[in-house]
Chains A and B, each alone.
Chain A
């Protein structure tokens, strides 16, 4: 199913710097060979079209490439695309069309689940800007001091857990996690703003993205600690 494969191609920084000028995909309808852009359904022969490999999650849902995303917009886009590709609407279609519908539906779900969670979204956004999507087992980039802090926090949480129970441990963890999450959210708007500015300071933008990546990484360690506390309670 190569023509319905996962949308994995990375966006270039040019795409992100000029999100509105990104050209829609150029393809031809698999059925009538009419030239197409990002249409889900061929306007000429009304057959569903596979997303193709170069379409990222934002384009799959037809959303602007931004860190800040209006949840209502996201849900509306998700519902619309789900309807378009819902298997129930394609019961009598050919095998080929059903195959496309199924593959597109699962990509729509994946795109929605990723973009709905602000932290997964930010991670996806960054890995695409930096072209790191193809590095699943990348090594930690957190400075040793941060890792040491996490280790010490973990020990503290363990003794809190055994002495005062999960609530006390979670409260302590939250006191570290909340400010980091606030910093992450705060940086969304400013990065979006920088990306949308007429004159871009590339160096400042790349610094802001690196800071965001570091915070996301730190949060993912803390998230693991939180899961352990929840499992213990």
Chain B
């Protein structure tokens, strides 16, 4: 199965790869996995007081599609409000990357990781409120 050009581009030049300190108050961490293929995806967001996502980082173990999905997700969430980031759908990620049906679960992981990171951030804020 051939990867699309966009997947290959993200795979060769991943955007925003890396980590933030997960204990920092303005950092939300989402970590999700797919036991069938063994993929694990970590997505971190740095969110400011106004609720805008300033920075995003990812670290993904998995196939090219999983790496591309998380790389693209970090690009898309940057500059967005938390509310808008929650509106990103896996189908949009899959469409942008031309993912074949067998790789759709990679884009689902990316959507879940965004949601997980935001909910982690919100939990932290509630604890400090």
Contact = CB atoms under 8 A, between A and B. Distances in A.
Interface of A: 136-137, 139-140, 142, 144, 147-148, 150-151, 154, 217, 220-221, 223-225
Interface string B79-120: 000000000000000000000000001001000100010000
Nearest to A226: B38
A147 B59 CA distance: 12
Contacts, number: 46
Contact of A221 (B31, B35, B42, B112): B35
- Nearest 10 pairs of A and B residues by beta carbon: A224-B38, A140-B33, A220-B35, A147-B31, A217-B35, A144-B31, A147-B33, A151-B40, A221-B38, A137-B105
Given A144-B31, A151-B42, A224 B105 contact: no
A139 B111 CA distance: 12
A220 B40 contact: no
The size class of the interface chain B forms with chain A is 10 to 19
Nearest to A154: B61
B31 A154 contact: no
Contacts of A225: 38
A140 B42 contact: no
A212 B34 CA distance: 17
A225 B108 CA distance: 22
B59 A151 contact: yes
A140 B34 contact: yes
A144 B113 CA distance: 11
Given A137-B105, A139-B112, A154-B61, A147 B32 contact: yes
Nearest to B42: A151
Interface in B30-51: 31-38, 40, 42
Nearest to A225: B38
Interface string B16-31: 0000000000000101
Contacts of A151: 31, 40, 42, 59, 61
